[in-house]
A and B are shown apart, each in its own frame.
Chain A
Amino acid sequence: MKPNTIRQREQLTGWLLALPALLLLLLVFAYPIGRAFWLSLFTRNLGTELQTVFNGLENYARMLGDGRFWSSLTHSTVFTAISISLELAIGTGIALTLNQAFRGRGLVRTVAILPWALPTAVMALAWAWIFNDQYGIVNDLLLRVGLIDQSITWLGDPVRAMLALVVADVWKTTPFIAVILLAGLQAIPEDLYEAHSIDGANPWQNFVKITLPLLAPQMVIAVLFRFAQAFGAFELILVMTGGGPAGATEMVSLYIYDTVMRYLDFGYGAALIVVTFLILIIAVAIASFLISKTRIDVTGER
């Protein structure tokens, strides 16, 4: 149909403008996800000499009994949960600090987003060096303070390796949360605090009664972004521990990558991708529900 009205012509132009981006998005997002769904119904590995053989839901059945998958899922969950909780706490602290007026605030803000901007893979090396068994600064500091008597192994110990990963991840991504929360803080009108203080509230009551509820939407958004990133965390783990020791820090993302790129088990790798994708989508659905809830609450209170 030939566009006749001004509106139709404008919409046609609009679609032409939006098309290149759409094609790229389809190529980079829709195709790989769709392909993973499709491929997850097939076996394609060294056993089939990389031929694609239909197997129905066999990959998913295999997943149920795959201990390595379940333990990687557990590791991912533990890592994600602990990291995000710490990041939220520290991020709120940083945001509250950066929201104060002080000399040199611009410079401190610059410093505060630096970790976010640096390449994860490269900084993972730095963190591996910090947690080095022999020469690491963590051991050195703990020895000096007297918390330990002799150097301990970090990345070679299942629990401590996970702890080291969490520390590195918290360092790397807390700035992101702090930035989002800071924007939320700046949007809270000062007179709310003044009115509340006149009513006799102390700073802690202010924080609990005003700051936290009004910051809730930002927190949910930040947590959602971080959830997706932490669940897909890859290079930090690959570079720092390689999933070790003995698979103690292997997470879903690493397992997927190894399945595909090391064991060349494409069909099963695709099934793992599909499951991770579904977990993410569910998380997004829950989060958007929470966001709509918190938004209503905030406006309802006023």
Chain B
Amino acid sequence: MAVAPKQSAEGNASKISRKRVILWVSIFLVVVFCLAPVLWQLLTSFKINDAISAVPNVYFPSFDQLTLNHYMAVFTGHPFARYMFNSAFVAFCATILCLATGAPAAYALARLRIPGHRIYVAGVLIVVLFPYVLLFLGLFEVVQAFGIGNNYLALIIPYTGRNLPLTILVMRSFFSQLPKDLEDSAKVDGYNTVQMLIRIVLPMTVPALVTTGILAFIFSWNEYIFALTFVTRETMKTLPVGIAQLGAQTVFEIPYGPIAAATIAGTIPLILLVLFFQRRIVQGLTAGAVKG
């Protein structure tokens, strides 16, 4: 009598541990899958040229195979700091503008039941899918017409517009989750719609603003095709364009080390953002895609 249950308990235990093994193997695979290309680039960025071009590859460089020279080369030989500033400035301005125009619009669409809001939302839902390549021609003409080529505005305005649909969708879903009583109470207290938005509604949705802001910032920082097309002056280029053109100088030998160093240096701000705001990014992506 006592034997049988014990056996099945052991059977259970081995089943559970087998499940755990499968789980940890998949976790390991996920981590390797996601990190390997970045780690390889990180390793390359610190290796001396001989180690970079060694066959077979050097996975564990010795101490004298390591160097910081590639980073020095990137920051001294190219206006790398300038690229970084350009990217940061453009992305920051676009994010702020996007929130400043997108949040009120999202609120109006979520709560004020304006005539035509269905069409507005449907339009936003469709354009959120549009790839950049459909837009660059028309925008290129606009940029030329306004004479703002090689001007930060040539990127800030398109980025703001490009990120508006997602911002509106995410913020709208947050606004419609707010308890309505609070706004009714504010109305009775004497707030008009704008005062209510600024003093009551937006302070309560700061987390949502941060979420959408981070998404807009990442998209703007990473954007390539507009930055490549609308800006040609070296000192106005953004980071992705600046780094990509390092690799395009194929006439001579490709500078693998500096490219790797530039990649790492240029992605550190994003890595930090992801580290600190993982939860918010996930929340924003989900709200934008699923709730819309």
Tell me if chains A and B make direct contact, with any CB pair below 8 A: yes
Q: Which residues of A contact B (CB under 8 A)?
A: 10-11, 13-15, 17-22, 24-25, 27-29, 31-36, 39, 90, 93-94, 96-98, 100, 102, 106, 108-115, 117-130, 132, 134-135, 137, 140, 143-144, 151, 171, 174-176, 179-180, 182-184, 217-218, 221-222, 224-225, 228-229, 231-235, 239, 253, 256-257, 260-261, 266, 269-270, 273, 276-277, 280-281, 284
Kindly state the separation between the CA atoms of A28 and B104 in the bound complex, as whole angstroms.
19
Q: Write out the residue numbers on chain B whose beta carbons fall within 8 Å of the beta carbon of A280.
A: 129-131, 134
Does B278 make an interface contact (CB < 8 A)? yes
Question: Which 3 A-B residue pairs are closest in the complex by CB-CB distance?
Answer: A232-B131, A32-B138, A28-B161
Does B153 make an interface contact (CB < 8 A)? no
Kindly state the separation between the CA atoms of A27 and B56 in the bound complex, as whole angstroms.
53
Contact stretch, chosen from B1-9, B27-35, B61-69, B73-81: B27-35
Kindly state the separation between the CA atoms of A174 and B222 in the bound complex, as whole angstroms.
17
Verify B27–A29 contact, CB threshold 8 A: no
Residue of A nearest to B278 (CB): A110
- Select B104's contact among A21, A124, A143, beta carbons within 8 Å: A21
Verify A129–B30 contact, CB threshold 8 A: no
CB 8 Å contact bits of B91-120 with A (1 = contact, 0 = none): 000000000111011011100111100001
Verify B23–A102 contact, CB threshold 8 A: yes
**129-182 of chain B: CB within 8 A of chain A:** 129-142, 157-158, 160-162, 164-165, 168
Query: A260: shortest Cβ distance to chain B, in Å?
Result: 5
Verify A276–B134 contact, CB threshold 8 A: yes
Does B38 make an interface contact (CB < 8 A)? yes
Verify A137–B101 contact, CB threshold 8 A: no
Verify A222–B289 contact, CB threshold 8 A: yes
Kindly state the separation between the CA atoms of A111 and B127 in the bound complex, as whole angstroms.
30
- Select A257's contact among B37, B53, B225, beta carbons within 8 Å: B225
24 A/B residue pairs, CB under 8 Å, sorted by A? A11-B113, A20-B101, A22-B105, A24-B157, A31-B138, A33-B130, A97-B26, A109-B278, A110-B278, A111-B31, A115-B34, A115-B37, A119-B266, A122-B263, A122-B266, A128-B247, A228-B131, A232-B131, A232-B132, A234-B131, A235-B240, A270-B137, A276-B134, A280-B130
Known: A18-B105, A118-B38, A120-B224. A29 touches B132 (CB 8 A): no
- Select B37's contact among A21, A94, A130, A218, beta carbons within 8 Å: A130
Query: A33: shortest Cβ distance to chain B, in Å?
Result: 7
Verify A180–B290 contact, CB threshold 8 A: yes
Does B41 make an interface contact (CB < 8 A)? yes
Kindly state the separation between the CA atoms of A25 and B101 in the bound complex, as whole angstroms.
11
- Select A28's contact among B109, B162, B246, beta carbons within 8 Å: B162
Kindly state the separation between the CA atoms of A93 and B124 in the bound complex, as whole angstroms.
31
Verify A35–B256 contact, CB threshold 8 A: no
Kindly state the separation between the CA atoms of A19 and B12 in the bound complex, as whole angstroms.
63
Does B55 make an interface contact (CB < 8 A)? yes
Query: A41: shortest Cβ distance to chain B, in Å?
Result: 14
Q: Which residues of B contact A (CB under 8 A)?
A: 23-24, 26-27, 30-31, 33-35, 37-38, 40-41, 44, 52-57, 100-102, 104-105, 107-109, 112-115, 120, 123-124, 126-127, 129-142, 157-158, 160-162, 164-165, 168, 192-194, 197, 218, 221-222, 224-225, 229, 239-241, 243-244, 246-248, 256, 259-260, 262-263, 266-267, 270-271, 273-275, 278-279, 281-282, 285-286, 289-290
Query: A74: shortest Cβ distance to chain B, in Å?
Result: 17
Known: A225-B289, A256-B133, A260-B137. A144 touches B108 (CB 8 A): no
Verify A17–B105 contact, CB threshold 8 A: yes
Verify A126–B112 contact, CB threshold 8 A: no
Kindly state the separation between the CA atoms of A176 and B38 in the bound complex, as whole angstroms.
18
Q: Write out the residue numbers on chain B whose beta carbons fall within 8 Å of the beta carbon of A106.
A: 278-279
Kindly state the separation between the CA atoms of A19 and B120 in the bound complex, as whole angstroms.
11
Query: B196: shortest Cβ distance to chain A, in Å?
Result: 10
Residue of B nearest to A126 (CB): B41
Kindly state the separation between the CA atoms of A210 and B23 in the bound complex, as whole angstroms.
20
Kindly state the separation between the CA atoms of A280 and B52 in the bound complex, as whole angstroms.
43
Known: A11-B112, A21-B105, A235-B225. A135 touches B52 (CB 8 A): yes
